[in-house]
Amino acid sequence: MSQNNPFESARTQMKTAYTFLTREYDDLFPILLSPDRVIEVSIPVKMDDGRVETFTGYRSQHNSARGPYKWGIRYHQDVTKDEVMALSTWMSIKCATLDLPLGGGKWGIIVDPKKLSQNELEKLSRGWVRKLYKYLGPLDDVPAPDVNTNGQIMSWMVDEYSKLVGHWTPGTFTGKPLSIGGSLGRDTATAQWGLYVLEAYLKSKWDTIKNKKVVIQWAGNAGLHMIELIQKSGAILIGTSDSHGAIYDENGLDISQIVSLKGDKKSLTEYKGGKQISNHELLELSCDILIPAALENQITSENADKIQAKLILELANGPITPEADITLFSKNISVIPDILANAGWVTVSYFEQVQNNANYFWSREEVQEKLKLKMETALHGVLEMAESKKVMLRTGAYVVAMKRILEAMKVRG
């Protein structure tokens, strides 16, 4: 894939959407194009062999006009400052699209966590909090897990933060285990929300997911849950992938075998049956629904004209570049954008924050009910805007979100 700059992609998307807004926000819009604050820190860690290794980390706080900064902590060897700024920008848009009282933020550390021991991982996580705790808080900045981070890492971080401020403050981090204030329903929230959005969108077109041929790029946490959910809904999975490669079977893949392989932390290259293909080939398969669930910049100007899916649901963040968006739109391939399609986890993260601050917790059924209601309201608003402006869904979502953010900035002065 080409090395597209994700932050420039985010800025381009905002500039495109702003043309559909009134000029009353002209003085404020340039502020929205850049983060409020970007912090770079060095985190020294004493490794198990006695040497000290220093890791670089970034924190981007994009906009807090509507509420505390919110989004995940990413541990990955390819993290860049531009990526972190882009993801914080997309988070501001996502929260406003859903009408959540939150703004966008993002953490990222340049590290391959698979090369660290559990002890080294804990030291890195606690060291990260010590560097940035003054900027955090349940009413200021509320991080959550993202790529290569999980409930255990959140546990170390909230413990370290609470020690530093002198009192137990669970609402500063979300995505925690249930035993220390996590929310029911978060484990499957991204995939469950994605399915809700997909089914509601198809229903708006007088269609259904049943018997649709589906390709899901990346059988990771969200992708694997989605694989299980779409099977229960009556769709047929014909292709999926992991970091080692992809598998394809026109007649449908064996879901139980895929779940078993990933549960045992094995590669899909060990799948028995079907055909082994590349990730590039996977994206270009003929299918009804394509669900990118990996990283950014998967569909670009280089391969957009080869995409054969009829509908794309972005379960990953930023998998389609602005140039590719235009190509897909011209080919009448509808895209349900990430800021709407994968918003389940941030919605349940918000629910967790609310429950922590109130010290009162909801049942799984209550969480699912509130999740579905939020999705239906958000989708209706985006569809209405896109249809009225005759634009793609992504632009419609950006118009809805940016108007809310800019109006908040305006009235706050």
Residues with catalytic function: 106
Residue range 222-227: average pLDDT? Answer: 94
- Mean pLDDT (the chain) is 95
Instruction: Specify if 223 maps to a domain.
Output: yes
Q: What is the mean pLDDT of residues 253-259?
A: 97
Each residue's pLDDT tens digit, 91-107: 999 999 999 999 999 99
Q: For residues 16 and 91, what is the distance between their CA atoms, to the nearest angstrom?
A: 17
Residue 216, helix vs strand vs coil: strand
Residue 106 sits at φ, ψ, to 5 deg, of -160, 140
Q: What percent of the chain has pLDDT over 90?
A: 93
**Residues 115, 242: one domain?**
no
Residues 303 and 230 in one domain: yes
Nearest CA to 110 out of 66, 77, 82 is that of 77
* Of 318 and 159, more confident: 159
**Any domain includes 95:** yes
> What are the pLDDT digits (tens) for 111-160?
999 999 999 999 999 999 999 999 999 999 999 998 899 999 999 999 99
Q: What would the pLDDT profile of 7-20 be if each residue is shown by its tens digit?
A: 998 999 999 999 99
Cα–Cα dist 146/342, whole Å: 12
User: How many domains is the chain partitioned into structurally?
Assistant: 2
pLDDT of residue 1 exceeding 70: no
Chosen domain end from 309, 341, 373: 341
Residue 318's pLDDT band (cuts 50, 70, 90): confident
In a domain, 177, yes or no: no
Which two tokens mark 297? 């910049």
Please check whether residues 138 and 270 belong to one and the same domain.
no
Residue of higher predicted confidence among 48 and 294: 48
Tell the burial category of 101 from Cβ atoms under 10 Å away from its Cβ (0-12, 13-18, 19+): middle
How far is residue 12's CA from residue 268's CA, in Å, rounded to a whole number? 36
pLDDT band at 265 (very low <50, low <70, confident <90, very high): confident
Q: Flag whether 22 is in a domain.
A: no
Residue pair 217/292 in contact by the 8 Å Cβ criterion? yes
User: Which of 296, 326, 341 is at the close of a domain?
Assistant: 341
- Domain closes at, from 341, 356, 387: 341
On whether both 50 and 162 belong to a single domain, the answer is: yes
The mean per-residue pLDDT over the stretch 198-226 comes to 95
State whether 213 and 303 are in the same domain: yes
Q: Is the pLDDT of residue 335 over 90?
A: yes
What are the structure tokens assigned to 111, written together? 């590290």
Claim to verify: residue 135 and residue 58 sit in the same structural domain: yes
The domain spanning residue 275 has which CATH number? 3.40.50.720
- What's the N-to-C CA distance of the chain in angstroms? 42
Are 193 and 215 a contacting pair, CB within 8 Å?
no
In this prediction, residue 399 carries a pLDDT of: 97
Can you give the residue range of the structural domain that contains 41?
34-172
Please tell me whether residues 248 and 168 are part of one structural domain. no
Look at residue 2 in the predicted model and tell me its pLDDT. Answer: 40
Asked whether residue 362 is domain-assigned, the answer is no
Residue 41 predicted with pLDDT over 90: yes
CB 97 within 8 A of CB 401: yes
Are residues 299 and 216 both part of a single domain? yes
Taking residues 154-168, report their average pLDDT. Answer: 98
pLDDT of residue 3: 53
The neighbouring-strand residues paired with 299 are 320
